[in-house]
C-alpha cells in the first residue's frame, strides 16, 4: 500500500516478511524508504433472523459478508484473502456461537433499508453482547479462524441476529353474497407467516401499530378493493400497517376476496289434471320447493310462477290435448328494488311434469221406433228430436268442453225390417264419434250407452163399402172391402207380402125393412179380424198389424108405404114415413 506524507514516500512491505530479508527490499532510486510491519484485518460478519437455528448463519445462501472500509486497493487484497479462506474452509476449527433460536435480535443492530449501523453507546445490551468492533468478553463467543492465512491477515468474524421478517398477508377468502358489504378490522382479515418459536400475533410482543384495509371506491362495482365489497366478483384485499415488535419486522401483502353468487335451486312440482281444465286444478304430488341458499336480507323476487310448456316451449292451456308436459319455474328474477345486481344469484331449477288425462264423456244413443215392416231409416226418435245422440251434461271433470262438439256418429240397430212388432231386446248403438276439431277424440274416454229400438204394429185401415137399398127392401150383401196398402217406406198399410181374406161385416140391428129412408153412416160394421183372416209370406204373425175398421154407410132410399096398391102415385109435397129421406148416424 503506497502513501505519501509531506513528500516522504512510504513503501510498505507485506506483513510477515522477516527482518532478515529486509535487504531484499531496495528503496526506489533517489527516494528514502521507511519499512514497517502492517497486519491487515479482514472483518467478516454473518446474519440470521431471530428464531432461526445457528446453521442459518451459513445456510441462507449469502454466507459471510465483508465489512468494507471503502479502500479500493485494500478491497482487492481482501478479495484475495476471502478467496483463499473459501478454498481452505475445511481446515477451519469449530464455530461456537453462544446463541440459541430464542436469542433476541442484537440490541446493537437496527435494520433499515438493508444497512447495518452501529448502535449508540448508551444502548442497553444483553449480557455477553458487545459493540461491533470490540472484543468479546465471553470466550465461547470468540470465533478464531485457524486455517491457512498466507496473507497474514488478522481475521475477525461477527455473528449478528437481526429481526425476523413476518409477512402479513390479506386472507384469500371466499364468501357468499350476503346483501351487505364485507368488512375487516384488526387481524380478522390477515394471516401472519414466519413467527418463530411457536409465537403468534398475540404472543409475539407486538407493542404498537395497526392494520389498515383499503376500502372499495364504489361498492356498486364487482371488482376493486375488498373492504366494503358487496356484489359477486373478485376483489383485492389490500392491507397496510405499522406493526412493531422487538424481534420482528413486518411486511404486508394483499390477499383476495371472492364473493360468490348465492345458489338457489327450485324443484317444480308434478301433477295431473283432466283435459279441458285450468292448470291450477292439477292434483300435485308435491309443492314448489327449493334447496341451497335463499334470498339475502334486502332482496326479493319478482312474482314467479310454475308454468307448463310443451316441447316447443308453448304455454299449456286448458285446450291443450292429453299428454305429458314440462312444469317450469318462471319469473324467478330478483326484483329491481333489491340490493342485488345481476350475477349475485345463480338460480336453477329442476322441472316437474304435468300429465293431462283424458276427459270422460258419456254419449247416449237416441231411442227409436218404427212400424213393423218399415225400413230402419224411417224410424223416428222417441224424444221427438232428430238427434242421434244425447251427451251427458258437462261437470268439472266430465262431458264435452265448450270448444269441442260431436258432428256425427255411426248408428246401428239389431232390428230387421222383418223383425216382429213388440220384439224385446232391440237396441240402437252409436260409435265412431266425429268431432268438430281434428284429433279431439284423443282427448276423451267415450262411454257409449245404447238406446232402445221398438217396433210397433202396423196400422191398416179396413174399410167397409157404403151400401144402399130401397125402403122396405132387405140389406144388400157386403163383399168389396177396401184394405189400406203400404210398403217398407211407409209405416201404414198392409205389406205386399201379407194378405187378408174372409172379411165380413154386420148391419146394425136397427137397419130393418121398415127403417125409414135415410143415410145411416157407420151402419155397416166390420166384424173382428182374427189370425184366420191373415196370411203372410214372412210368417203368419197377426200381431204385427193393428187393423183399424172403418164402418160403411147404408143409404135407404124412399119407396111406397106398406099396403099401397101398385101403381098409386104419390103427389108432390106429400109426406109419409115411408118415403121421407133422413140421414142418421149408424146404430139406427
What is the secondary structure of 329-351 as a DSSP string? EE---B-TTSS--TTSEEEEEE-
Mean pLDDT by 10 residues, the chain (588 residues): 48 50 64 60 75 68 68 70 64 58 56 32 39 43 47 68 92 95 95 92 89 95 96 97 92 97 94 94 88 91 88 94 94 89 92 96 97 96 94 95 96 95 97 95 97 97 97 95 96 94 96 96 96 86 94 89 48 41 44
HSE value, Cβ hemisphere, 13 Å, CA-based, for 342: 0
The whole-angstrom separation of Cα 301 and Cα 474 is 113
Identify the DSSP state of 378.
G
The whole-angstrom separation of Cα 234 and Cα 232 is 7
β-strand 380-381 against 368-371: which pairing, if any?
A: antiparallel
Identify the DSSP state of 117.
-
In contact, 158 and 132? CB cutoff 8 Å = yes
In contact, 455 and 419? CB cutoff 8 Å = yes
The predicted pLDDT at position 79 comes to: 73
The predicted pLDDT at position 13 comes to: 45
In contact, 484 and 547? CB cutoff 8 Å = no
**Percent helix / strand / coil, the chain, rounded to 5:** 10, 40, 55
The predicted pLDDT at position 304 comes to: 80
Considering only CA atoms, give the Rg of the chain. Answer: 68
Q: Which residues contact 162 (CB under 8 A, 6 or more apart)?
A: 47, 48, 49, 50, 105, 106, 109, 111, 116
The predicted pLDDT at position 8 comes to: 52
Q: What is the CB neighbour count within 10 angstroms for residue 76?
A: 9
The predicted pLDDT at position 46 comes to: 75
Handedness of CA 530, 501, 549, 556 (dihedral sign): negative
The domain defined by 165-260 folds into: Ribosomal Protein L9; domain 2 (3.10.430)
In contact, 41 and 155? CB cutoff 8 Å = yes
Provide the edge-to-edge strand list for the sheet that holds 289-292: 289-292, 262-267, 345-350
Q: What is the CB neighbour count within 10 angstroms for residue 266?
A: 20
DSSP 141-194: G-----S--TT--EEEEEEEEEPEEEEEEE-EEEEE--SS-B---TTTTEEEE-
Taking Cα atoms as reference points, which of 574, 573, 578, 576 lies closest to residue 561?
A: 578
Query: Which three three-digit cell numbers place residue 347?
Result: 338460480
Instruction: Look at residue 41 and give its three-state secondary structure.
Output: strand
The whole-angstrom separation of Cα 391 and Cα 384 is 16
Taking Cα atoms as reference points, which of 299, 292, 235, 232 lies closest to residue 265?
A: 292
The whole-angstrom separation of Cα 295 and Cα 377 is 73
Instruction: Look at residue 528 and give its three-state secondary structure.
Output: coil
The whole-angstrom separation of Cα 439 and Cα 453 is 31
Query: Which three three-digit cell numbers place residue 18?
Result: 522477516
The whole-angstrom separation of Cα 302 and Cα 559 is 114
In contact, 451 and 366? CB cutoff 8 Å = yes
HSE value, Cβ hemisphere, 13 Å, CA-based, for 325: 28
Q: Which phi and psi angles does 21 have, rounded to 5°? A: -105, 15
The whole-angstrom separation of Cα 39 and Cα 361 is 125
Query: Which three three-digit cell numbers place residue 580?
Result: 121421407
The whole-angstrom separation of Cα 302 and Cα 312 is 25
The predicted pLDDT at position 18 comes to: 54
The predicted pLDDT at position 564 comes to: 52
Amino acid at each position: 500500500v503506497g502513501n505519501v506524507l509531506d513528500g516522504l514516500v512510504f513503501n510498505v512491505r507485506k506483513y510477515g516478511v522477516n527482518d532478515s530479508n529486509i535487504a531484499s527490499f531496495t528503496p526506489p532510486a533517489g527516494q528514502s524508504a521507511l519499512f514497517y510491519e502492517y497486519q491487515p484485518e479482514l472483518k467478516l460478519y454473518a446474519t440470521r433472523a431471530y428464531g432461526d437455528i445457528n446453521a442459518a448463519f451459513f445456510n441462507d445462501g449469502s454466507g459471510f459478508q465483508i465489512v468494507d472500509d471503502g479502500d479500493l486497493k485494500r478491497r482487492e487484497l481482501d478479495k484475495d484473502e476471502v478467496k483463499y479462506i473459501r478454498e481452505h474452509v475445511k481446515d477451519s476449527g469449530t464455530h461456537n456461537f453462544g446463541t440459541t433460536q430464542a436469542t433476541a435480535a442484537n440490541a446493537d443492530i437496527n435494520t433499515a433499508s438493508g444497512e447495518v449501523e452501529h448502535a449508540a453507546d448508551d444502548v442497553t445490551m444483553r449480557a455477553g453482547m458487545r459493540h461491533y468492533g470490540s472484543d468479546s468478553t465471553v470466550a465461547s463467543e470468540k470465533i478464531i479462524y485457524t486455517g491457512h492465512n498466507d496473507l497474514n491477515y488478522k481475521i475477525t468474524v461477527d455473528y449478528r441476529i437481526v429481526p425476523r421478517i413476518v409477512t402479513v398477508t390479506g386472507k384469500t377468502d371466499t364468501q357468499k353474497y350476503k346483501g351487505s358489504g364485507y368488512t375487516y378490522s384488526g387481524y380478522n382479515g390477515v394471516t401472519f407467516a414466519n413467527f418463530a418459536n411457536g409465537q403468534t400475533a398475540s404472543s409475539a410482543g407486538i407493542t404498537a401499530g395497526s392494520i389498515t384495509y383499503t376500502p372499495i371506491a364504489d361498492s356498486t362495482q364487482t371488482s376493486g378493493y375488498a373492504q366494503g365489497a358487496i356484489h359477486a366478483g373478485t376483489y383485492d384485499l389490500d392491507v397496510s400497517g405499522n406493526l412493531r415488535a422487538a424481534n420482528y419486522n413486518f411486511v404486508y401483502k394483499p390477499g383476495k376476496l371472492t364473493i360468490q353468487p348465492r345458489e338457489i335451486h327450485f324443484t317444480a312440482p308434478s301433477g295431473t289434471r283432466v283435459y279441458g281444465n285450468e292448470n291450477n286444478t292439477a292434483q300435485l304430488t308435491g309443492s314448489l320447493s327449493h334447496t341451497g341458499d335463499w334470498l339475502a336480507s334486502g332482496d326479493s323476487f319478482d312474482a314467479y310462477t310454475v308454468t307448463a310448456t310443451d316441447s316447443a316451449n308453448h304455454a299449456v292451456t286448458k285446450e291443450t290435448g292429453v299428454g305429458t308436459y314440462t312444469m317450469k319455474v318462471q319469473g324467478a328474477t330478483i326484483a329491481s328494488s333489491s340490493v342485488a345486481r345481476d350475477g349475485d344469484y345463480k338460480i336453477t331449477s329442476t322441472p316437474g311434469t304435468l300429465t293431462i288425462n283424458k276427459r270422460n264423456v258419456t254419449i247416449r244413443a237416441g231411442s227409436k221406433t218404427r212400424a213393423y215392416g218399415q225400413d230402419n231409416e224411417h224410424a223416428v226418435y222417441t224424444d221427438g228430436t232428430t238427434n242421434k245422440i244425447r251427451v251427458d251434461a258437462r261437470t268439472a271433470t266430465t262431458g264435452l268442453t265448450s270448444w269441442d262438439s260431436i258432428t256425427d256418429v255411426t248408428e246401428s240397430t239389431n232390428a230387421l225390417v222383418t223383425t216382429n212388432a213388440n220384439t224385446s231386446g232391440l237396441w240402437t248403438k252409436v260409435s265412431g264419434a266425429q268431432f268438430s276439431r281434428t284429433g279431439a277424440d284423443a282427448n276423451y274416454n267415450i262411454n257409449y250407452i245404447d238406446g232402445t229400438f221398438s217396433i210397433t204394429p202396423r196400422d191398416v185401415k179396413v174399410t167397409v163399402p157404403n151400401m144402399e137399398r130401397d125402403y122396405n127392401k132387405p140389406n144388400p150383401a157386403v163383399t168389396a172391402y177396401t184394405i189400406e196398402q203400404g210398403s217398407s217406406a211407409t209405416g201404414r198399410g198392409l205389406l205386399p207380402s201379407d194378405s187378408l181374406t174372409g172379411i165380413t161385416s154386420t148391419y146394425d140391428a136397427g137397419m130393418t125393412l121398415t127403417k125409414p129412408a135415410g143415410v145411416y153412416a157407420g151402419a155397416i160394421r166390420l166384424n173382428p179380424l182374427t189370425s184366420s183372416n191373415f196370411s203372410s209370406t214372412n210368417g203368419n204373425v197377426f200381431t204385427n198389424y193393428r187393423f183399424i175398421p172403418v164402418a160403411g154407410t147404408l143409404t135407404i132410399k124412399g119407396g111406397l108405404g106398406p099396403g099401397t096398391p101398385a101403381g098409386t102415385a104419390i103427389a108432390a109435397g106429400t109426406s109419409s114415413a115411408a118415403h121421407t129421406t133422413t140421414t142418421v148416424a149408424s146404430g139406427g
